[in-house]
Amino acid sequence: MADIRSLARSQTKTAINVLVKIMQSKDATPAARVSAANAVLDRGWGKAAQPSESGNEVPGGPPQRIERHIVNPENPDSESI
């Protein structure tokens, strides 16, 4: 797995150049140009944060609530004590 990752990373400059050429190509479809532009931006700046389905949280953001459950080791299936 590390060999594949290393091989892929060694092609980063070439891959970015290909994406930029597609992005700038007048012959490429608009969809291909937008896709290439998004790929370049994602690699340079990271993906934009997406709100959760509830709209209240941002993935990777701080937790909204932390709970602690203390369990009796002699009866781990019991409710918290």
Dist. CA 20–CA 14, nearest whole Å = 10
pLDDT at 80 over 80: no
> How many CB atoms sit inside 10 A of residue 36's CB?
20
| 3-state secondary structure at position 64 | coil
pLDDT tens profile 6-42: 888 899 999 999 999 999 999 999 999 999 999 999 8
So where are the chain's domains? 2-45
Of 23 and 67, the structure prediction assigns the larger pLDDT to: 23
pLDDT at site 78? 64
- In the predicted model, what is the mean pLDDT of the chain? 82
The residue count of the chain comes to 81
Phi, psi angle pair for 39, to nearest 5°: -65, -40
